Structure 1
Amino acid sequence: MQGEKVRFVLAVVTLVVAALLVLLGLGQRTVFAPPDSVTSSVVTKSGATLTVLPGKALKGYPGRETISISGGAKVFAAYARTADVKGWVGDTTYNSISFDTTTNELVSKTVKGSSAKAPDPAGSDLWLQQYQGETLSIPLDAPSDISLLIASDGSTAAPSKVSVTWPLSTATPLVGPLVAGGLLVFVIGILLFVWAIVHHRRTRGPRRTSGTGGKRPKLPRSERPRSVRQGRKAALGSGSSGGAVEGRGRRGRRLIAVVPVILVSSIALAGCSSQYWPQFSSDSSSSAATPSAPTTTAPAQAAALQPPAVTVGQAKEILSRITAVQTKADTDLDATLAATRFTGSALAERSANYAIRKADSTAAGPLTIPTGKLDVTLPQQTNSWPRTVFAVVQTTSAAVGVTLLQPTARDPYKVEYLVGLDGAQVPKLPAASVGAARLAPDVKLLTMEPDQLAAAYADILKNGDASTEAAKFQATGDTLRDKIGKPYKDAKQAALPTTASIAYSSEVSSDPSVALATFDAGAIVSVSLDEIETVTPTKAGAQVNPEGEVKALSGLSQTTKGITATYGVQLLFSVPPVGSTDKIVLLGFSQGLISAKEVP
């Protein structure tokens, strides 16, 4: 009897332990469940107009962070490369937010500058993305070299309340083992309980025995009760004994009682996700989130290169803004508006065209940047200013090359050169994600120095094949020579009456040459020159009668002194590296009247 009690007690204890294990496992996902995020907040009180939240502070904890900003009538935020944000902030006083690894909290300090205010940062070409509203909640997964700029409008205090929320790992690796262990112990407890019951039935109280060995004496067949005889016949007719059937039924019921337990265990274990089990992978991303310093995965050779000035996405956005200004300025003939996105030779040609079209509405418009596919993006590799970007915009009928310049961090990118590509093959260029080095104007690594190209080509336009520079340039496919070269000049001279003469000269434009390295160590070079035509009378009393665009721009219908017309010529060349036998190729050009005035 003592052994039977022990068996029952052991079974009960096992079942209790199983229940405790399962409840403890479930508690890991309920009562003892870890928080799913952590938030750190900071309030700035300095009154500075700008706040900078660096990528290192954003990576106080790993994972995708959410930045919440409030505390101002207007909230503006934008993120960009840290170097770009610092360049835009410049010498303005700002709040710098950092992450204190000792307290695991954000802290703010004021960095003093020489200026208390800044321009409105909205719309800067530097931003990868910008946000505006009364309050902001910005989800980011920013790398460590990205910073967030926070402001109102640059002249009033920046929003004062900034908080960052990071996700925390909600993995509970003990749930799986506890629940699985509890179910296993439960099955063992059931088996122990069944064993105890079976053993108890087999050993229940002693039975009385007679001299016949505990068996009843058989009665003669005639003396047996009729009911007994009929019952036995019925049993014999079934082909099996009643005791055997009853025994199999009891065992079947026991098995049926155990099967649901096994099924429930299997279903429960199958439904557990990986976060409910210990993970033995060496991947640190699967571990619980803890404060950590950001790390860089860039290879050493990539770290030695300066980053490209813009991304492809930025280039598309910049060109979209430029074309919007271009469309309105071309429609309204507004040179002042055009000057917000055009500069140098590109602006001079456009401004003169507006003046011509105001006087003559039938005159053709200037070359425009079409709304088409951004086929090529070649940004300069730089962390400083000025910055240059070359792009090719392609449509089904034409392609243009655009050279953009950003003088300072707070200036927008402006079109410095705009040329129509003349069908020549653009050389292989570095990837946009790598960018290209901008070469010095007097670099000796090319077959011709960039700042000598304009003068050399001007000599070819004046003297044709007789030019001493002609052998260095490819003549095949150069259609500009036919339009304004020696054949054109000779024909125009011959068409003048004997009472007038024409003189040609050229000047290298004051715009700097822009040379960006190509994949083969050569360069694509943008330059400009001014072609000057001076028509003067050759006899006393003779007059010169300007026509077309010259007449519209000069405002003169006739003059006895003569007239000087200046044509701006923008050129894009492919220049091979020094030592190459290849020739310099004219890739594209644009030319237009930029000045017309009476000879003094």
Structure 2
Amino acid sequence: MRFVLAIVSFVIGVLLVGLGVGQRTVFAPPTSIVAATSGTNAAPVTVLPGSVLTANPGYQRINVSGSGKVFAAYGKTSDVDAWIGDAEHTTLRYDAEDASLKSRTTGSGSDLPDPKGSDLWYQEYDDARQFTVRLPADVSLVVMGDGSDAAPSDISVTWPRDTATPSVGPLLTAGGVFVLGGLVLLVWAFLHQRRSRGPRRRSGGGRPPRVRASRRAAAAGAQVPVRSRRGRRTMIAVPVLVAGALVLSGCSSDYWPSGGGADVTPTPTATATGAAVPDASTAATKQQIARIVSRVAEVAAKADADKDADLAATRFTGPALAIRKANYTIRDGDDKAQAVPAVAADDVCVALPQQTDTWPRTVFAVVAADCTDKKTAPQALTLVQQDPRSDYKAEYAVSLEADAQLPSLAPTSVGAAQLAPDTKLLALAPDAVAAAYGDVLSKDSESESADLFASDGDDLRSRIGKAYKDEKAKALPDTAKIEYSSEVPEDTALALATNTAGALVSVDLNEVEKVTPTAAGAEVNTEGAVKALSGVDSSTKGVTATYGVQLLFSVPPVGSDDKIELLGFTQGLIAASEVQ
């Protein structure tokens, strides 16, 4: 009976172990789900919406095959749709029944810009044969060739599949227990059988047991063969080792039921990971802003070195471009003239995007070579993107005051609302700030707006304020006079809300100096930047010089006792000519 129990235990153990091993071999589930396109594609752009990418859980491995280069990029779905516009494009959808990608071509336009380097992309790949990402449902992927020919038609998406087999561990363990139990029963059966066959007394005289003869022969010095037990030890050791190995192999977490019962999605090794995606509808993420600023700085460095106004226009606009273009002309005519401050974008200290899904879009950033270095003044950039296919351009590039303290701002992932230029929610409407401050520069404390602005820490007043202007007028000879005036360009005020219900307001102010002779035959001589920009050495009519001043203010909310503070400024000659 003991042998029967041992055999039954062995059979049960082997069956359980075999079933456990089969769970990881013959009956193992596939390790991934693959969906591929079928057919041809004639459109220059293929779009994989977020609904396709998230059709199955886990990372998405994209494989694209085709002749020539393959470009891919992903961004917020609304941004991708806006960038494509009415251009002809193919949109893929996931068919769960046969795990394939179906295509649908829409749009009729053929005008598409170069997608490389677009500020809308979270990430882009120049050679996008294979890459792995993990994107949410509100992010879409675009795949293109060279932009003119049809996009690659052979695209597949691979998702990892949960290959956990929680029954393997218990099966292997139970099988090992039964195998070991069978071994114990087998040994017990052999021992019992041996004891039952031991020496017994005989009733009649006969030959003594063979074992005693063997012992006597051995005692007399004869060599008696001894029965080897090595075979039995080997037979026992092999199943023990096999069972032990099987039991130990079940230690993996994939072989046991999870305690919480939650689905576990395996994470494949990624060849490329995506950038962070914002939760709110903001104009750009922090990573995007850092990349945009880096591109602006790169263009600025090259344009400033080569004095290339056309290159500067690709990343600068408005007052920031006007001061650079004039500076290039001045430096061509005056070797001693200094270049405008460089854009040091090694470190982004502040990144504040506008809360919007439409265009134009505004982004505010404070950049520096090192945000922790208090010896150098950082720069504040106000960047604007006019439409989905345009790049962000710096409209304002302001050097911050040494002791400037920015108001409390929202985190980058939340962004800030852009206020209307004529909003009544601030102590002074954004489009009225420049004119009021220009009056303060002209009249100082006698200005009606003097009480609105804080004077402490305002270094610009000492540079171009009333005292400076009066001193410059006194220095002129009696044969000439100087007149000052201010001009405020239209539609240049940009305001982003702060956490204190106030706003960061960027404005542009033109300070005009007009020098004319007061005596017959007298001439006005020019020098330096005015001479280089106007091309006039002297004039009997007079000379007009216009200085552009970019200003950044912190404006408190309406009803606040706080004053408007000047946070930074940049000034420079932008125009000079003979009086007509």
The answer, yes or no, to whether TM exceeds 0.5 is yes
**Does structure 2 conserve the Cα–Cα contact (< 8 Å) formed by 1:60 and 1:104?**
no
Aligned Cα root-mean-square deviation (Å): 3.1
Counterpart position of 2:450: 470
> Are 2:496 and 1:513 equivalent residues in the alignment?
no
| 1:411 maps to which of 390, 396, 400 | 390
SS at match of 2:37: strand
The residue number in structure 2 matching 1:438 is: 418
- CA displacement, residues 257-278 of structure 1 (integer Å, 9 cap, x when unaligned): 9788667645543442111122
1:335/1:354 contact within 8 Å kept: yes
**Contact 2:83 2:389 (C-alpha < 8 Å) held by counterparts:** yes
Correspondence for 1:111? 106
- Which moved further from structure 2: 565-574 or 83-92? 83-92
CA apart distance, 1:511: 4.5
Contact 2:161–2:266 (Cα < 8 Å) also in 1: no
Q: Distance in 1 between matches of 2:37 and 2:238?
A: 56
> Which residue identity does 2:548 align to in structure 1?
G
Q: Is the CA contact (8 Å cut-off) linking 2:179 and 2:243 kept in structure 1? A: no
Partner of 1:339: 313
C-alpha separation between the residues in 1 aligned to 2:39 and 2:456? 66
**2:61 pairs with 66, 72, 85, which one?**
66
Shift of 1:256: 11
SS of the aligned residue for 2:330 comes to helix
- Measured against aligned partners, the alpha-carbon deviations of 1:135-174 in whole angstroms (never above 9, x if no partner) come to 6101111112211111123222111111111111222222
Whether 2:574 is the aligned partner of 1:594: answer yes
- 1:269 aligned residue (242, 247, 272): 247
SS of the residue corresponding to residue 285 of structure 1 reads: coil
Alpha-carbon contact 2:430-2:493 (below 8 Å) kept: yes
Distance 1:469 1:337 in 2: 40
| Kept in 2: contact 1:72–1:158 (CA 8 A) | no
1:160 aligns with one of 153, 168, 179: 153
Question: Does 2:545 correspond to 1:565?
Answer: yes
Equivalence for 1:400: 379
Is residue 284 of structure 1 aligned with residue 263 of structure 2?
yes
Q: Rg: which structure is higher?
A: 1
Secondary structure of the corresponding residue to residue 457 of structure 1: helix
The answer to whether structure 1 residue 79 and structure 2 residue 57 are counterparts is no
Closer, same or farther: CA 286–334 of 1 in aligned 2, 3 Å: closer
Query: For residues 108 and 93 of structure 1, what CA distance do their matches in structure 2 show?
Result: 13
1:351 & 1:416 partners in 2: Cα distance? 13
What are the superposed Cα offsets for residues 31-79 of structure 1, whole Å, 9 maximum, x if unpaired? Answer: 2222211211114634111111112201121111110112242211011
Q: Displacement, 1:551? A: 1.1
Q: How does 1:439-588 map to 2 (within 5 A)?
A: 439-588=419-568
Matched to 2:19, the amino acid is: L
1:597 and 1:54 mapped to 2: Cα distance?
56
Q: SS in structure 2 opposite 1:179?
A: helix
The structure 2 residue matched to 1:40, chosen from 29, 35, 38, is: 35
1:97 aligned to 92, 98, 114, which one? 92
TM-score normalized by structure 2? 0.88
Q: Give the drift of 1:538.
A: 1.5
Match of 1:145 among 138, 153, 161: 138
Cα pair 1:120 1:155 within 8 Å, conserved: no
Change (3 A) 1:483 1:47: same
Amino acid of the structure 1 residue aligned with 2:409: L
Within 1, Cα distance between the matches of 2:43 and 2:56? 27
| Aligned counterpart for 1:351 among listed residues 315, 325, 336 | 325
Q: Distance in 2 between matches of 1:391 and 1:417?
A: 10
Superimposed CA distance per residue, residues 172-210 of structure 1 (whole angstroms, 9 cap, x where no aligned partner): 222222221221111222233334334444555996654
For residue 264 of structure 2, give the secondary structure of its aligned residue in structure 1: helix
**Which of 316, 320, 340 is 1:366 aligned to?**
340
SS of 2:440's partner is: helix
> TM-score when scaled to structure 1?
0.86
Looking at structure 2, the residues matched to 24 and 288 of structure 1 have their Cα atoms a distance apart, in angstroms, of: 27
Q: Equivalent residue of 1:404, what SS?
A: strand
Which residue number corresponds to residue 234 of structure 1?
none
Is 1:193 the equivalent of 2:191? no
Q: Could you tell me which amino acid in structure 1 is paired with residue 169 of structure 2?
A: G
Q: CA offset at residue 12 of structure 1?
A: 2.2
1:172-187 aligned at under 5 Å gives the runs: 172-187=165-180
1:188–1:312: structure 2 CA closer, same or farther, 3 Å change rule? same
Distance of 1:567 and 1:475 partners within structure 2: 22
Runs of 5+ consecutive residues of structure 1 not aligned to the other structure: 1-5, 217-226, 232-249, 290-297
Counterpart contact for 2:176–2:243, Cα < 8 Å: yes
Q: Return the alpha-carbon distance in structure 2 between the equivalents of residues 44 and 451 of structure 1.
A: 57
Q: Does 1:328 align with 2:328?
A: no
Contact 1:345 1:511 in 2 (8 A): no
Contact 2:301 2:343 in 1 (8 A): no
Could you list the per-position Cα deviations for residues 436-460 of structure 1 after superposition, in whole angstroms to 9, with x for gaps in the alignment?
1111111222111111100100100
| Residues in 1 aligned to 2:235 and 2:25: alpha-carbon distance in whole angstroms | 30
The question of whether the paired residues in 2 share the 8 Å contact of 1:517 and 1:523 is answered with yes
Deviates more, 1:565-574 or 1:514-523: 514-523
Distance verdict in 2 for CA 1:498–1:414, change over 3 Å: same
Instruction: Give the residue type in structure 2 aligned to 1:105.
Output: S
Deviation at 1:393, TM superposition (A): 1.2
| Maintained 8 Å contact 1:48/1:158 | yes
Is 1:117–1:154's contact at 8 Å kept on the other side of the alignment? no
